[in-house]
Each structure stands twice: as C-alpha cells, then as structure tokens.
Amino acid sequence: MALRRMIILAMSVTILFVQEQALMFIPNVQFTVALLVVYASIFTYKENMILIFVYVILDNLYMGTFSPFYLMPMLIAWSLIPTVYHFLLRRTTNEKKLACFGLVFGFVYGWVFIPFHMIQTGIHTWWPYLLADLPFEIIMATSGFLTILWTYQPLYRLMRSEMAKLEHQFDTAYTLAKK
C-alpha cells in the first residue's frame, strides 16, 4: 500500500475515533456509521478492513474493554459495513438506500453482541439480551439513518475532493524531490 494511502487511512481513523469520544455523552448517537459508509465509498475493501481493525483495537484499548467478548463482535459488526457496501449494495452512492442500510445496521450491530454475551455470562437464553438492548438499538438505528441521509453526500464529495488534492500534493512533492 502506498504511503500516501496509509497516511489518509490514519487520518480517517483519527476522525472516526475523535468524533466517537466527543459524542460519548449521548449513548449510541454518533457519526461512526455514516463515516464508515463514506470510507467504504472512498477506500478499497482491503483498506476498509485495515481501518476497522485499527479503529476497533484503538477503541477497546482506550475504553478498557480489550477482551475477545468485545473485540470480536465489534470487528464482525463494523466489518459488515464495507462488506455489505461492496458486495450487496454494489457500491451505490444513493443516500436513501444507504440510510436504510444504516437503519438496519443499528439493530444488527446489537444482535452481533448477543452470542458473545451468552458465552461470557454462561447464560444461554438470548431474548433477555435482545430486550435489554432494544432501546440502544433503536437510538443507534435512528442515528445511523439520519446521519447518513443528511451527511453522506456532502462528506463523500468533500472527501473525494480532499483526496484528489492530497494526491496532487503528494505527486508535486514527489516530483520536486526527484528533481
């Protein structure tokens, strides 16, 4: 992977992490889903998976939840965004379709955690987890739907233009360095 892409990926992870920490005081209200959908539209599938891996490790290290019972479901759940975007949604940029995906994802994200909590607690009944998590899933689904609906297109356009600018700056710097 080119160094320039790695730098852009690192900057993207930083934005993702900082906005999540900044919005931590409102449970499950964040731009993470919208940003990951934008990243899925900009970066390749492989780049997205690297970005998600770094983000999940960083988030769990910072939050003190560095355990397979949180790492694994988070990795699986967040990886669903680029996977569905690239293979099921066929790289659409229609914000209404993507917002509907964000709505469904809010619920799926919570469901992915259920089997891991069942293993962790040793209580093999799934419905209490589902019931307890439902308010948070509703908030996350609504937040995902609204943030994608309103911010996807402007963020996507902004990121594309900034990426082009950065690529140009890198190219100019590289040419000058060669001379």
Partner 1 sequence: MKLKITLSFIALSLAVTLLLLLPGRGGDEAGIITVKVYDSSSVQVVDADYTFDGDDTLYTVLNEHHDLRVSGSKSDLYGRVFLGIDDVVTDFNTTFIYIEIDGEEARHGIDYLPLYDGAIYTFTVKTVD
User: Site residues (CB under 8 A) for partner 1?
Assistant: 96, 99, 103, 117, 121-125, 128-129, 131-132, 134-135, 138-139, 141-142, 145-146, 149-150
Q: State the DSSP code for 43.
A: S
Q: Please, which residue, 13 or 99, has the CB nearer to partner 1?
A: 99
CB of 8 to partner 1, least distance (A): 29
Question: Which residue, 107 or 170, has its beta carbon nearer to partner 1?
Answer: 107
Return the number of the residue (15 or 23) whose C-beta is nearest partner 1: 23
Structure tokens at 110: 């919570």
Q: Say if CB 164 and CB 42 are below 8 A apart.
A: no
Closest CA to 39 of 81, 72, 73, 69: 81
Place of tokens 């040419």: 175
Sign of the torsion formed by the C-alpha atoms of 50, 53, 54 and 55: positive
Minimum CB separation from partner 1 for residue 134, in Å? Answer: 6
Q: Residue 76 or residue 118: which is nearer to partner 1 going by CB? A: 118
Question: Whole-number minimum distance, CB 119 to partner 1, in Å?
Answer: 13
DSSP state string for 147-172: HHHHHHHHHHHHHHHHHHHHHHHHHH
Minimum CB distance to partner 1, residue 94 (Å): 12
